[in-house]
Chain A
């Protein structure tokens, strides 16, 4: 499986002003390539949620997108900490550690990670105090 298209975006902590910009670029580019709308819808949802997570919960991080030659699309969200204490708890619908500021802006409903997992074809999460890495894979059709 070779990566044909690679794109990297950097997201800063608490940068609410630019929330969703990276996801918008990714969405537009994948539209341009001609990814199936149903698949793209799942990617858009997962990507936006994850980008918001980097802003709200992490000390910022990077988004790496790869389109492979078999048509699958991989998104890797790698942040610089602080890590997730209890991944199992974080994966429970409704559980949230979002700040008041984030909640007042309509984020932090506790559906982030469960939603991301639900819409992606493969989901992997690795976390330590140095940082969390979430790897998502989407295939042409689910």
Chain B
């Protein structure tokens, strides 16, 4: 069973159901005990539920620094989104030093890997003959396609995540250092999943995913103390910033969940076939808009300009046979026959007609359609609908 990177904190929840309504894939429900349940198989880790919540009822949880001593040699990977927070080269150097003070043996800036992957996207897209290529930087976009857009699966660029490719390279480079622990500073909830801990996803090369907001108070204490050279790669910094990516006639670069939904819908109708590349970010302003990155993403977006003065635009080459990874459908195989599926669909429609259609979520389910499905499965009855119950009550009063 997959676990969502979004954790429910019962104590502060005011049961307003805003999170249930905010979920783009209907992964949240409120159960009979008035607790929010998150379906890990459906959840995209897009954090829309967290940002909608006014009472801190939900949070994205990462690993902790307490795990550093468990390794002979610990390495922290710094993503380009975090370097984009700095407005000068000096600040970036200070940030690298401050992160090292958290107890790591080494801090590695992985922006060159991002830069190289972006170039590989361009390369793949320009040579892709079967239509439009969709890039796979963003785990939310990938998971969205893997669960909701089966028609577009073949168009997903078969490239692994930058953090994974970087972790593989780092492990290879440090194989003589004994038990090496690789930590990743994550700018969004979706990246928290791409590590062995805290969600026990053994298939990943990265050991621990840290939420930047969690460790930032500790980083801050060491800022301005000293410097450590950060040779960030400019293309890497640009690759996570939608306003900075190479604009070309047949490239479509878009950020924000509504926009990407709209784009994927059109792509399914083959209406974007004139584009060679769809470069999509679930977060507004791209990775610098990641929810675990504190602060103002508009400023971070433009920090690339001052940082450009000192960065390197040379891209190191990657071990190319090790960067590919296929994205397959994440939906469980439906063993029902076509007849059974249609019969169920008809049954759901029949129940749906009896429901008010307000999608108010008062029953704890996001939409009337999901309620109709639950009734069709026999898990709920029409009596669970609050609106119908209210109507019944009124009727009883008048008679």
Residues of A within 8 A of B (CB): 4-5, 20, 23-24, 27, 29, 31-34, 37-38, 40-41, 44-45, 48, 67, 69, 71, 140
Looking at the complex, which one of A5, A24, A67, A140 makes contact with B265 (CB distance below 8 Å)? A24
Does B330 lie at the interface of the complex (its beta carbon under 8 Å from any beta carbon of A)?
A: no
Q: Which residues of B contact A4 (CB under 8 A)?
A: 342-343, 346
A140 touches B269 (CB 8 A): no
5 closest Cβ contacts across the A-B interface?
A37-B150, A48-B269, A71-B338, A41-B151, A34-B341
Distance from B310 Cβ to chain A, minimum over Cβ atoms (Å): 43
Q: Give the distance in Å from the alpha carbon of A33 to the alpha carbon of B344 in the complex.
A: 8
Q: Which of B294-321 contact A (CB under 8 A)?
A: none
Closest to A38 in B: B151
Q: Which residues of B contact A31 (CB under 8 A)?
A: 150
Does B175 lie at the interface of the complex (its beta carbon under 8 Å from any beta carbon of A)?
A: no
Given A5-B345, A71-B339, 4 other A-B contacts at CB below 8 A?
A24-B265, A40-B151, A45-B270, A140-B338
B153 touches A5 (CB 8 A): no
Closest to B340 in A: A34
Q: Give the distance in Å from the alpha carbon of A4 to the alpha carbon of B343 in the complex.
A: 8
Main secondary structure of the interface of B (DSSP, over half): helix
Q: List 14 A-B contacts (CB under 8 A).
A: A5-B345, A5-B349, A33-B341, A37-B150, A37-B153, A38-B151, A40-B150, A41-B151, A41-B268, A41-B270, A44-B151, A45-B270, A67-B342, A71-B338
Q: Which residues of B contact A37 (CB under 8 A)?
A: 150-151, 153
B342 touches A33 (CB 8 A): yes
Closest to A32 in B: B345
A5 touches B342 (CB 8 A): yes
Q: Which residues of A contact B334 (CB under 8 A)?
A: 34
Closest to A34 in B: B341
Q: Which of B341-382 contact A (CB under 8 A)?
A: 341-343, 345-346, 349
Q: Which residues of A contact B16 (CB under 8 A)?
A: none
